[in-house]
Amino acid sequence: MLWGLLAAAVPIIIHLLNRRRHKTVKWAAMQFLLKATRESRGKKRLRHILILICRALGIAALVAAASLPLVGGFFGLGAGTPDLVVLVLDRSASMENNPESGGVSRRHLAVQRVARAVSDLSGTRLVLIDSASGTPQEVPSPEVLAELSATAPTDSAADLPTLVANAAGFLAETPGRAELWIASDLQASNWAPEDDRWSNVRASLASLTQPPRVRVLALGGESAGNQSLRILGSQRRGDRLDLELEISRNGPARAPLGLPLTTTLNGARSTDNVTVAGQRLRFLKTFPAPETEKGGFGWISIPGDGNPRDNVAYFAYGPALPVRSTVVGAGEAADYLQLAAAPDGFGGQIAETTDPNGLRSAGTAETAAIFWAAPLPEGPLAESLERFVQDGGQLVLFASPDSDGSEFLGISWSETQNAPAEQFFILDSWDRSDGLLRDGIDGTPVPGDRLRAVKRRVPQGEASILARWDDTEPFVVRRVVGKGTAWFVGSLPDYTWSNLGDADVLLPLAQRAVNTGAARFDSGYLVEIGSPEARPTGNEMREKLDGFDDNSSADPSHLAGVFRFGDRVRAVNRPATEDLEGQMESSAVAPLFDGLSFSLFEDASASTQDNISRSVWRAFLIAMLFFLLAEALLCLPKPVSPVETPTAGPQTASPR
């Protein structure tokens, strides 16, 4: 319809053509008439120009009104009625955060905004693609959008590249003029702006017969005060259950915050208090779990706040199993490693010592960690150990006492290096937040500065360095393979090499490896929404076991909780990425849709009464009437003053 604006040029064209119809002929007597009207010529010229402008603007306003324009932050100003709107709605757990200025979630705001906007688009179809199901769904009316289960809150994550690709596939099969709307909080983990899939998404949209206009509704701004609770790991040790918990606070660190922590375990409820001094608190909570119990489940919760979806975490556990470790080596180093892997007083931990051949025959299926103090494995044994690591096992390889040129997982040992006479290699720096030498849950550091070595072998190859000697050479490096980790330690717990055999360093190092490796047997009870383990397989049915109050109308497959799938019980929690605070900059959104018609509306308001669009066609009709009325008034002839006639009276003859 906007092509009709060219009609505004018709009065101007007629005016120019009329000027060409007249031929100027000089006529001497005309000079006197021109001189008489010269003073009023400027006013007439101005009136004619105003008449021409009013005629052109009247036609333009009529065309603009017929195109049904919309105006607003979300729409800008443009022609207004597409045949189809495809809405990609982010329903991830982070969308349940409330803006700082209000008490409704960003998801709720997005649904309200979109419903109001679509209601202004008469005759436009609305198709919803939500982040939980990822499938297109026809919405019969914008008024029912908020009532659909496909717009209800979830505990899941969102994969925006896949969702937009799904929208492109739907648009490829649906003719007509369409627009693609995306409502999201721009959480970086959900958008993955560096993902290579975005280039394919852009190409798919641009290749459509009628590429859609892309509009992004970004629900940003500061969030209301919020604390999130997460279970980092669970492990059953003999007659107790250990849960490693983390409470995080959004925004900058504030004054210490006391929170009641409510635990429900196998139907029994208890409450105690914790104090969060900074932005994050990690702590270990232990519960009794008699060895006669084959398993159980429960949940832990904190009071409601700015996001009710991250205030509860679920757990489940199975029968108590012994924690087995294997030491491969001989001599003093093997003795110290066996003591560190299963020290006295650590019930349920078993450590056995063997040689490489014995490990080959024994297998590793029930082993939590392997401590290797022998030449690096080769051949079939190396392949077996790599599978062990891929399955979640922990493999700690210490410097080989024998010099050889072997290599494992891309890492080899340097030649044996001896410290200068009466000097030592001293551990200078190590990662205190990650790795085997990290600080304890209560913040107690590992006393690595006490480590002294007279011999060492430096791990060489591509790996993450977690600790260094005082001359910056690596001491501990890490290679992550599949679900597990291979660690390379550049000395031996042998006093002819170092004092690593002292318990202050070796014991926490070994126990971190054992606990992480053992967690793979219990971690199967903790799964995330969206993972294969969180879905029924074969003839399994989903049964919700927890009694935590949740009135959400969403599909249970998108909610956290404790579920039974046939014979297995799993605690399903929201993905860890949903607790990340990182959001994309608004300037980073436009490049994802480079080459397409794109607009971004940033909405940080918490009011559901604000409209993001407004129809203005009536205003253009009023403007047209104004211009036509003004043109008519300007065309009215100027009133002529009556000619005065002399009054009758006596006539006096003039003298001759």
Which positions ≥6 away from 218 have C-beta within 8 Å? 184, 185, 186, 586, 589, 600, 601, 602, 603
> pLDDT tens digit string along 262-286?
999 998 999 999 999 888 898 999 9
CATH 1.10.10.10 holds for 227-320+529-549+557-579: no
Cα separation values, 325 from 6, 402, 519, Å: 83, 24, 13
Q: What angle do CA 117, 121, 122 make, to 5 degrees?
A: 140
pLDDT for the residue 117: 86
Across the range 304-308, mean pLDDT stands at 86
Render pLDDT for 207-260 as a digit per residue (tens, 0 to 9). 999 999 999 999 877 777 889 999 988 888 778 888 999 999 887 667 888 999
Torsion of CA 513, 514, 516, 520, to 10 degrees: 140
Q: Are 598 and 179 in contact (CB under 8 A)?
A: no
- Domain positions in the chain are 2-68, 70-220+590-615, 227-320+529-549+557-579, 323-523
Q: Whose CA is closest to 155, among 299, 317, 318?
A: 299
Higher per-residue pLDDT: 165 or 80: 165
Residue of higher predicted confidence among 77 and 290: 290
Does residue 78 surpass a pLDDT of 60? no
**What is 70-220+590-615's CATH number?**
3.40.50.410
Percent of the chain whose predicted confidence (pLDDT) is above 90: 52
Which range among 101-110, 329-338, 576-585, 622-631 has the greatest average pLDDT? 329-338
Query: So what's the pLDDT on residue 77?
Result: 45
Mean pLDDT, all residues of the chain: 86
With 80 as the cut, is the pLDDT of residue 494 above it?
A: yes
Query: Which residues have a Cβ under 8 Å from the Cβ of 133 and sit 6 or more positions away?
Result: 150, 555, 558
Matching CATH number, 323-523, of 3.40.309.10, 3.40.50.880, 3.40.50.300, 3.90.470.10: 3.40.50.880
Domains 227-320+529-549+557-579 and 323-523 share a fold: no
Residues 6+ apart with CB under 8 A from 356: 328, 374, 377, 381
Average pLDDT of the segment spanning 556-563: 92
pTM above 0.75, yes or no: no
Task: Tell me which residue has tokens 């991250």.
Answer: 310
